[in-house]
Structure formats: C-alpha cells, structure tokens
Amino acid sequence: MMKIRNNNTRQDVKNINLDMLVPQDHIIRKIDSALDLSFIYEKVKPLYSNTGTNSIDPVVLFKIILIQYLFGIRSMRQTIKEIEVNIAYRWYLGYGLDEKIPHFTTFGKNCQRRFQNPKIFEEIFNEIISEDIKCRFVNIESVFVDRTHIKASANNQKARNVLIEENSKFYQEQLEKEINLDRENHKKTLNFDKTIKEKRIKQSTTDVECGVFHKGEHKKVFAYSANTACDKNNFVLDFIVNPGNIHDSKAFPELYKKLKNKYSGIKNIVVDAGYKIPAIAKLLIDDNVIPIMPYKLTHFLY
C-alpha cells in the first residue's frame, strides 16, 4: 500500500537536544574532538579592546574558515548559507537552532581591521602543526615540495609593460666568493660586473602583485605560485606564495629557509623537475639533507 506522508510535522514544537541530531560518526565530531582551538583566545587577545560591545567569538570565526575549506565550499557567502541550514555545522560552532549566524561580511571586516597582519594566521597554523608533531601524526624525516598555481582575479587584457630590476640568482653571491677564493690562490682575482640589470615584464593593472603564469604550451594567465612542503602523511609543513612568473628554483631557497628554521630532523627532500638545478642540490647537501630529484631524459636532435 502506498503511503502518503503529510507535512503537518513541519510546524511541530519539540524539546530536543541539538547534540542528539548530530550522528556520532559525523566527521565534524571527529574534528571537534581532535582539534582544540582554545589557544586562539590567547593569540588574538591583544587585538581586542577591553571596552565596547561584545564581539563575535574569535574561535567561531576560525571555525567558519575550517568549515569552508574542509568541506570545499566555494565562498564565505555560501559557507554562511550552509551553516544556517546544517545542524552539524551549528553544533560545531556552538550555535542553537534559533540563533542567528554571523553575516558573511563579518569575517571580511575582521580580516581588514583586526586580522590584517597575516602573522596571526601563521601563528595559529604553527600551533596546530606543533600539536600534530607532539601526537606523532607528522613525520618530518622526508619532505615533499611542489608548486601549484592560484589564478589571480585579473583580466589578461588589462595589463601594461613595465621595466623592473632583475633579481640576482640566490647562489650568485656565494658562487662569486668561491670563484674569487679559488682565483686568489692562483693570484688571479676577478672583478665581477655589478651592473644592475633590468628586464621588461607584463604587469596586471588590476593586481600588480601577481605574475604571468605559463599554463601549458600556449595559454598564459595572471596567477600566483604556491610552493608547498608536506610530509608523507600529507600534512602541510610550510608554504610560500609568489607571483606566477617566479620560477620554482628561485622560490625554493626561501621555503627551505623557513623549513630549516622551524623543523629539525629533515633527512630527505623530494622535489620535481622544476627544482632540479645544481645550486639547490648543493644547498641541501651542505646541510646533510639528501635531495631526491627526478631523472631527466636528454633529447638529442639529429
């Protein structure tokens, strides 16, 4: 017999515990039990005034970010809409069924006025990684480094040609010292050309900090390059973001310096062909770190 369900229950009023509505095996429960974000209060305390009206709980703001990225929600506006109708998200934030969720512009305003210094996000990131290391979730013996591009919100047609100073290679100064030291031993010192070189690049008029990224053989886009280091368990250890026209090999020294200052015990660093240059290999070997790089096939033209 076909059953026709009436919708009268939509207006039912029941005394119910919000915790009962979230399944015990829901991933949001696992995140809540594994990740204690109470340390954020101490980190952001200097950014808040002792007078005035009460603000939105800072931990709630950071939990909203976690929800957005962990569940792949495309924007903060959409994230707030999802939280409004998702009981599990409300439970995670500590908001009841009848409580109003913060407006989607709240986070943007806090970023502009209170959290404009990106160091606060880095401190929170480092604190979470430190806890992961204490729990032995992270294995820093082998580190994997790769780059991905992040498309900038910039039109390819809105650009101009500018002349900029060309940065020297990170190993140039050290290389010149070693060459002069060797030549001094043979009484043949060499004066290197210190002329500042310039080059012409295409710069976006919308976002001057991004750079032209070559996406494939023919396509070019304005983008940023994110060089990311992670361990074998896919935990992100550190990262740097550069304009899209900065080559992998030029970005690596800065990332490696951050890794070296933050972690001890790195034995191997695995990179792809974009980082395979002698200077990077020497940099790692001098620090007793084994560079693991791909073998490049040589193409002969006959």
Other C-beta atoms closer than 10 Å to the C-beta of 16 total 9
| 21, 27, 64, 67, 73 from 82: Cα distances, Å | 16, 16, 11, 10, 9
What is the model's pLDDT at position 257?
93
Side-chain half-sphere exposure of 35, counting CA atoms within 13 A: 19
Query: What digits encode the pLDDT tens for the residues 225-235?
Result: 999 999 999 99
Q: Give mean pLDDT in consecutive 10-residue pieces for the chain, a chain of 302 residues.
A: 75 82 93 91 87 85 92 92 95 92 86 79 89 88 93 86 70 71 69 68 85 80 92 92 88 93 93 89 92 79 58
The SS3 of residue 110 is helix
The whole-model pTM stands at 0.77
What is the model's pLDDT at position 67?
95
Other C-beta atoms closer than 10 Å to the C-beta of 265 total 8
Other C-beta atoms closer than 10 Å to the C-beta of 50 total 5
What is the model's pLDDT at position 13?
78
| 86, 92, 162, 183, 241 from 18: Cα distances, Å | 11, 11, 59, 77, 41
What is the model's pLDDT at position 299?
65
What is the model's pLDDT at position 145?
95
DSSP 295: P
Report strand pairing: 142-151 vs 268-270: parallel
Q: Point out which residues pair with 211 in neighbouring strands.
A: 223
| 101, 169, 281 from 84: Cα distances, Å | 6, 51, 51
Report strand pairing: 159-165 vs 219-230: unpaired
DSSP 137: -
What is the model's pLDDT at position 301?
59
